[in-house]
Amino acid sequence: MLVAIAFAVAAGLGGFFIGRATKSTKTVAAAATTPASTTVDPHVAAGAHDFVNFACAQCHGLDGKGHVSNFVPALKAFSTLTAAQLSDIINHGRGESANPTHPYMPVWGQVISSTQVNDLVAYIHAGLPKVPTATPVDVPSGQGAAVEGQALYTLYGCVNCHGPNGLGGVPNPQSPDKTIPPLSGADFFKQFNTDAKIIDVIKSGSVIGKAPIVSMPHWGGIIPADRLNALVAYIKTLKTG
């Protein structure tokens, strides 16, 4: 019996070291194929990272290639828009309806700085090229819904509007509350006291006014049902009082 356990432990350790060895070989190989001289225009690079961080990629597809939702256009074809036109669309959206039934271009002007908008425009005008490390965060699986939801909160850019840990406080000066609401605290959990209510508002969005007022984007058709559940599981781990 003891011998069998010792054998199993040894086999496990062996597997562990083989796993590590394979991993480090891969890393070395990848580094060797990336020429040290590769540089990316800093504005294009910043724009590529912004495109991921503000979840443009989650609606318009990686590298703006589309295929996420029939309601969201791919972006390459639009790089003929002037810088002024692109900035205006990013800052003000495209005029959302009072009761959105499908995704619309969010209003970003209060959330994204003019420097970041200029970088996004540089990236779009450069044809949305691949930029090393400008890739969406990994979403862990098999570690529970709340862990998955925490990654999704970053992946879908919720964090940019609702703050780290759902603390809120991002200015939205022309809205009634003057800030984008927190997703934590007694008031939030009193109003959103069931999973269904939280999921409903994420799916439908909530238009509180015209640009420059920032509203809650419509994520129905963008975020799959299991991921909506994971986002709720994460939100319910945040401060309740």
Residues within the interface to ligand HEC (CB under 6 A): 54-56, 59-60, 71-73, 75, 78, 86, 89-90, 93-94, 103-106, 108, 111, 120, 156-158, 160-162, 172, 180-181, 183, 188, 192, 198, 201-202, 206, 208, 214-217, 219, 222, 231
Tokens 């992946």, located at residue: 155
Q: Which two tokens stand for residue 171?
A: 């200015």
* Nearest distance in Å: CB 191, ligand HEC: 6
* Nearest distance in Å: CB 49, ligand HEC: 11
Spatial separation of the C-alpha atoms in residues 179 and 117, rounded to whole Å = 21
Q: Which two tokens stand for residue 210?
A: 């015209």
CB 232 within 8 A of CB 195: yes
Spatial separation of the C-alpha atoms in residues 175 and 208, rounded to whole Å = 7
* Nearest distance in Å: CB 101, ligand HEC: 12
Within the chain, residue ranges assigned H as helices are 2-33, 42-53, 56-60, 83-92, 114-125, 145-155, 158-162, 186-191, 195-204, 225-235
Q: Which two tokens stand for residue 156?
A: 């879908």
Q: Which is nearer to ligand HEC, 151 or 158 (CB)?
A: 158
Q: Which is nearer to ligand HEC, 46 or 192 (CB)?
A: 192
Q: Which is nearer to ligand HEC, 22 or 82 (CB)?
A: 82
Q: Which is nearer to ligand HEC, 44 or 104 (CB)?
A: 104
Q: Which is nearer to ligand HEC, 41 or 236 (CB)?
A: 236
Angle at 52 between CA 109 and CA 216, to 5 degrees: 45
CB 46 within 8 A of CB 124: no
CB 201 within 8 A of CB 192: yes
CB 227 within 8 A of CB 153: no
* Nearest distance in Å: CB 70, ligand HEC: 10
Question: Phi/psi at 68 (nearest 5 deg)?
Answer: -90, -50
* Nearest distance in Å: CB 39, ligand HEC: 23
Q: Which is nearer to ligand HEC, 45 or 214 (CB)?
A: 214
Q: Which is nearer to ligand HEC, 27 or 97 (CB)?
A: 97
* Nearest distance in Å: CB 126, ligand HEC: 13
* Nearest distance in Å: CB 138, ligand HEC: 17
